[in-house]
């Protein structure tokens, strides 16, 4: 399995709308394994293909503490939603920031599984919020789109500054240790 690089806001590639998957094959299953590896390593509870610069409609989640509830959604579609509530959200592509977002607390989702078979499931609470957050990624949307422009701009500037600092660090020639 390979750990993939997660794109960070405001990388414009995060705004790409992902295309539907035509066939769930072994290549896609290997990619799904890489998504899980990357998500667990980053201590996330969900990861969408868009976040690793692969623009296919695939997302994975695991909201359990023990990493024993892995779920795969290929070509996911929300077919019903109800009872809007507020929950604090974070995102592996917006590291270090958490903001309140309103979303449906109960949803019914339809997708293809890892085996390519269609399924429908009901989700509530954290899992429901997580699935909606990840489907947003597949549509090129981020949770910061739901907060005030002032807050969003502040987060963007801080992350850009961190990204520049990291790029400078990487570009600096290494001095030989003596
Ligand atoms: Zn996210």
Residue 90 C-alpha to ligand 1 middle, in angstroms? 7
The per-residue pLDDT for range 117-141, each reduced to its tens digit, is: 999 999 999 999 999 999 999 999 9
pLDDT on residue 172? 85
- pTM for the model: 0.94
Residue 31 C-alpha to ligand 1 middle, in angstroms? 18
pLDDT on residue 175? 77
Residue 1 C-alpha to ligand 1 middle, in angstroms? 21
Proportion of the chain in helix, strand, coil states, percent, rounded to 5: 35, 30, 35
H or E, element range at 60: strand 58-61
Buried b vs exposed e over 64-94: b needs ≥16 C-beta within 10 Å?
Answer: eeeeeeebbbbbbebeeeeeeeeeebebbbb
Question: Regarding beta strands 58-61 and 71-89, do their DSSP bridges make them parallel or antiparallel, or are they unpaired?
Answer: antiparallel
In angstroms, the CA 90 to CA 94 distance is: 7
Average confidence (pLDDT) over 25-33: 98
Give the Å distances, CA to CA, from 97 to 22, 47, 92: 35, 16, 9
């Amino acid at each position: 399995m390979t750990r993939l690089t997660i794109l960070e806001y405001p990388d414009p590639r995060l705004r790409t709308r992902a295309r539907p998957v035509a066939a769930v094959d072994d290549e896609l299953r290997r990619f799904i394994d890489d998504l899980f590896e990357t998500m667990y390593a980053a201590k996330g509870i969900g990861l969408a293909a868009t976040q690793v610069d692969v623009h296919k409609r695939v997302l994975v989640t695991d909201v359990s503490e023990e990493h024993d509830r892995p779920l795969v959604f290929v070509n996911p579609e929300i077919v019903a939603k109800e009872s809007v509530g507020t929950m604090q959200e974070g995102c592996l592509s917006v590291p270090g920031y958490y903001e309140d977002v309103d979303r449906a607390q109960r949803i019914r989702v339809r997708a293809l599984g890892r085996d390519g078979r269609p399924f429908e499931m009901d989700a509530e609470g954290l899992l429901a919020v997580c699935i909606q957050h990840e489907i947003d990624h597949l549509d090129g949307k981020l949770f910061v789109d739901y907060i005030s422009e002032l807050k969003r701009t502040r987060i963007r500037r801080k992350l850009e500054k961190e990204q520049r600092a990291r790029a400078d660090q990487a570009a600096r020639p290494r001095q030989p240790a003596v």
